[in-house]
Amino acid sequence: MTLSMHYTSVAALAAAFGFAAASPVYAQDQMREIKSLEEMLAVVRGSMPDILKGDNKALVDLLMKVPLGSPLSKTFDPGTAIQAVFGEGSYFMSQECRRKGTAAGEPDLGDCLVSSGQEGGRGTYIRLSFSKNMGNGNIKFLKRAPVDDNMTAEKLPTAKLSDEQAQKMALDFLAGSFGLSVEEIPAPPDGRMLSVRSLALAGAENDGRTKLGPIVVQKIVTFQRGLPLGAVFPGPEGRNLTHVPLPGRAMVAVDDSGVAGAMVSNWQELRLDPTMTFNDAKPGDTLIKEIAEDLFNEGVLQISSMHFNVIVSSDWRGSFGFLLPAVRVGVAPVPKDLSEEGQNALEGKATAGIVKEYSLVERASPESRQ
């Protein structure tokens, strides 16, 4: 009894607990044509939450004081990761792993590759890669079972474990095998859903009439890197800002046998810039002008909604980044639930939204800081 398999439930992966909902957010729900910079200024000013319209010094001060955990450059151990992934089995390490600098003497932004088996073969294949300079914060682990041309329902992996068990397994793996600081992985607030999604397969017998499944074969756990603020900052509509997201996201695939794969992306080493103070904060009027001019010059001529999220970004320096208070602005040109008539009216027009980040502090040029 072979299976004709297809995906039946692959939900979009979400952040650990909706920072967008906890951060300042403003949204409209009507399309507006932008014909001048003055109109764009009015839209940005009307959309921006009040907490960003002042001098922003208190907010920047809070963001500069988030309690950063130990960076992966100090906590990630290649030997520990290799042992966790390959066990006592043999593996091949690329010679590129020895080179951590470029010919120009700059940090190599590439990855070190360790593998077992053949990627194009039919046997078990295991692959582990990680940043040569771990300040970049990228780690990937993939395990593929042997190819089976006669796959049956009985041979499929299963993920009957609970979401809570899946999340604990994933977190233990990230902390124990990859050295991620658990302090930078916030727990979901009470009443919020866990960051777990199910990957299910369905199929049929050879006659195509007898349906099988769906069978949950993996659970995907997603963690958004983030930290608590030192104080509760008042936000719009009663939604106070208590946490802030940082660069970095991790995803782990688990089943009843253990961890089947993992990816850590952009978990950068962050440091506090000694030249930056809360007095460098951009006033609201300056921020409004910068955002409006940038969007208008980018050719954004239609706006339905605009969202503002306070974040910590990174001022990258080659092997680490300076912590950078910032705001992420998302612009949607059309309403979320557009009528069929409205959709027809937009035929041939671009309807994709954009997301951009803007620093909340005035930054001196690198040359002037040398």
Q: How confident is the model at residue 347 (pLDDT cuts 50, 70, 90)?
A: low
**What is the mean pLDDT of the segment spanning 8-18?**
28
> Which of 306 and 8 is assigned the larger pLDDT?
306
As a whole number of angstroms, the distance between CA 166 and CA 172 comes to 10
pLDDT of residue 7: 28
**What is the predicted pLDDT for the residue at 189?**
63
Percent of the chain past pLDDT 90, that is, above it, reads 54
338 vs 111 pLDDT, higher one:
111
d(CA 11, CA 359) in angstroms, rounded, equals 32
The percent helix, strand, coil of the chain (3-state, each to 5) is 25, 35, 40
Question: Which tops the pLDDT comparison, 39 or 212?
Answer: 39
Burial status of residue 352 (CB atoms within 10 A of its CB: 0-12, 13-18, 19 or more): exposed
Band (329; pLDDT cuts 50, 70, 90)? very high
- Going by DSSP bridges, is the β-strand pair 32-33/302-303 parallel, antiparallel, or unpaired? antiparallel
pLDDT for 16 equals 29
- Please, are residues 22 and 243 in contact by the beta-carbon 8 Å criterion? yes
The pLDDT value recorded for residue 63 is 94
pLDDT at 154: 76
Query: Do the Cβ atoms of 170 and 163 come closer than 8 Å?
Result: no
pLDDT of residue 1: 29
What average pLDDT is seen over the chain?
A: 82
Q: What is the pLDDT of residue 261?
A: 96
Question: What local confidence, expressed as pLDDT, does residue 340 receive?
Answer: 59
Tokens of 350: 């671009």
pTM: 0.82
Q: What would the mean pLDDT of 250-263 be, rounded to a whole number? A: 95
Query: For the chain, what is the radius of gyration of the CA atoms?
Result: 24
Q: What is the pLDDT of residues 172-218, one digit of tens each?
A: 999 999 999 989 988 776 656 678 999 887 766 665 665 666 888 89
User: Region 83-93: what's the mean pLDDT?
Assistant: 93
The whole-number pLDDT of residue 370 equals: 43
Residue from 333, 311, 334, 186 nearest 247 by CA: 311
Say which residue, 178 or 341, is predicted with more confidence.
Answer: 178
For 100-135, write each residue's pLDDT tens digit.
888 787 888 899 999 999 888 888 999 999 999 999
Contacts of 156 (CB under 8 A, 6+ apart): 3, 201, 215, 217
Is residue 296 over pLDDT 90?
yes
Residue 51: which region, alpha, beta or left (left: phi > 0; alpha: psi -120 to 50)?
Answer: alpha
Q: pLDDT grade, residue 156 (50/70/90)?
A: confident
Tens-place pLDDT, residues 222-250: 999 999 888 877 765 566 778 899 999 99
Helix intervals (H) in the chain: 19-22, 37-47, 57-64, 72-75, 78-86, 163-177, 284-297, 340-345
